[in-house]
């Protein structure tokens, strides 16, 4: 589109196909001419979706807003496969290379992902709390803010427990699960009944992927409501929240853990009142006043807005430098006001202090 920030795609073909492969938070499209002899060589594009990027297939005559890149079909009437990104945090680049600092994908490369974490536990990245380590895409490629909250909540792991402490315990669990005396059925049962952190880094995203059409479509309120119902911890009423050292909000239940930031007190998301039954009044703790209780619903709204701003900051920081420079808005300077002589400014201030009938300053 005319307002798209991505690079021009140097691919022209009357008939071509599109294939795709995902890895963590990136997606690679390959454009290939149906007649390789007559058409151009294949072209690869690697996409990042930011907060709001997605692909949508729609009639070419009814393009969705913010459709920044379009692939047209040859049918009649034609349709368009569009990369739609209202907030423009998403991007695409030419070539087939994944970002070099991203590790194996938690979904499509599970075994490689698991080995990459367990063999590098001496890395300084694991000196941090587990909630912060889970956002490190070098080791947890594909895990984002809501996924880390859901994974830690299901395992009842305090978010500010040291990452190395949590992950080193998995080595002993792994030896138990690989015990040659256990039958295959017992090993499978053991894994299903006692999944570890790295296994949930694979299975929890898979829950969303397999039910994506029903769970995650913000433009259809019924579907998005299903996604919110799927969430067990993230933004759920009754859960606590803290900001980690990178400024991101982590949602959890119970104690935050020994590495929780000092000077912060966990905030609780207010529970929604049932429309049928009036909730019993809860006993107030010494630190909570009735006035503070009334202000909590407003605070919940602020939490949602601040969470959105944090996501924006993360996506902005993760974009290439050139994209940020191109994305800056041009600011038009305001017209200059006529300069007021200093003596006049002083006399005006003196008049204002003394009043209309006061004698002029000497």
Q: What is the pLDDT of residues 296-343, one digit of tens each?
A: 444 445 555 555 565 555 555 444 444 444 444 444 444 444 444 555
* pLDDT tens per residue across span 4-15: 888 999 998 889
Region 185-208: mean pLDDT is: 80
Of 60, 94, 128, which one is at a domain's C-terminal end?
94
Range of lowest pLDDT (78-92, 156-170, 208-222): 208-222
Nearest partner of 306 among 250, 224, 223, 231, judged by Cα: 250
Domain holding 54, by residue range, is 16-94
157 found inside a domain? yes
* 195 and 119 in a common domain: yes
What is the enclosing helix (H) or strand (E) of 142?
Answer: none
Distance from the first to the final alpha carbon of the chain = 68
What pLDDT does residue 279 have?
Answer: 42
What is the enclosing helix (H) or strand (E) of 118?
Answer: helix 110-118
* 241 and 128 in a common domain: yes
What pLDDT does residue 172 have?
Answer: 74
- CA-CA distance, 308 to 305, in Å (whole number)? 5
* pLDDT tens per residue across span 48-98: 988 788 899 999 999 998 999 999 998 899 999 999 998 888 999 999 999
Contact 133, 151 (CB under 8 A): no
Crossing angle of helices 163-177 and 197-210, in 10° steps, is: 90
Range of lowest pLDDT (195-204, 257-266, 279-288, 305-314): 279-288
Residues facing residue 141 across a β-bridge: 105
| Count, residues in the chain | 362
Angle at 85 between CA 80 and CA 86, to 5 degrees: 120
Please state the pTM of the whole predicted model: 0.69
What pLDDT does residue 322 have?
Answer: 43
285 found inside a domain? no
- CA-CA distance, 118 to 24, in Å (whole number)? 18
Is 22's pLDDT higher than 70? yes
* 55 and 204 in a common domain: no
What pLDDT does residue 182 have?
Answer: 63
Question: CATH no. for residue 148?
Answer: 1.10.8.50
Of 94, 120, 147, which one is at a domain's C-terminal end?
94
Question: CATH no. for residue 37?
Answer: 3.20.190.10
Query: How many separate domains does the chain show?
Result: 2
Tokens of 238: 């009754």
């Amino acid at each position: 589109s005319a307002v798209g920030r991505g690079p021009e795609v140097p691919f022209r073909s009357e008939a071509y196909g599109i294939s795709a492969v995902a890895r963590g938070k990136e997606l690679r499209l390959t454009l290939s001419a149906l007649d390789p002899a007559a058409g151009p060589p294949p072209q690869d594009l690697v996409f990042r979706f930011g907060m709001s990027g997605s692909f949508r297939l729609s009639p070419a005559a009814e393009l969705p807003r913010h459709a920044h890149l379009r692939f047209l079909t040859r049918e009649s009437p034609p349709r368009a496969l569009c990369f739609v990104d209202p907030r423009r945090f998403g991007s695409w680049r030419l070539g087939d290379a994944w970002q070099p600092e991203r590790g194996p994908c938690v979904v499509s490369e599970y075994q490689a992902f698991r080995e990459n974490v367990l063999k590098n536990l001496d890395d300084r990245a694991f000196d941090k709390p587990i909630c912060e380590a889970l956002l490190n895409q070098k080791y947890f490629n594909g895990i984002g803010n809501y996924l880390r909250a859901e994974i830690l909540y299901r395992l009842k792991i305090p978010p500010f427990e040291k990452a190395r402490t949590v992950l080193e315990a998995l080595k002993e669990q792994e030896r138990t699960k690989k015990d040659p005396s256990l039958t295959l059925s017992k090993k499978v049962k053991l894994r299903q009944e006692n999944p570890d952190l790295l296994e949930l880094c694979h299975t929890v995203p898979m829950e969303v992927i397999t039910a994506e059409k029903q769970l995650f479509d913000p433009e259809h309120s019924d579907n998005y409501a299903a996604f919110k119902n799927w969430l067990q911890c993230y933004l759920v009423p009754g859960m606590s929240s803290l900001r980690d050292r990178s400024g991101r909000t982590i949602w959890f239940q119970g104690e935050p853990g020994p590495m929780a930031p000092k000077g912060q007190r966990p905030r609780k998301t207010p529970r929604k009142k049932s429309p049928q039954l009036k909730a019993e009044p809860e006993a107030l703790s010494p630190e909570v006043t009735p006035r503070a209780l009334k202000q909590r619903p407003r605070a919940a709204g602020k939490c949602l807005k601040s969470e959105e701003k944090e996501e924006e900051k993360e996506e902005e920081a993760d974009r290439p430098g050139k994209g940020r420079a191109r994305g800056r808005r041009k600011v038009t300077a305001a017209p200059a006001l006529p300069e007021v002589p200093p003596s006049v400014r002083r006399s005006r201030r003196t008049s204002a202090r003394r009043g209309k009938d006061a004698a002029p300053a000497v």
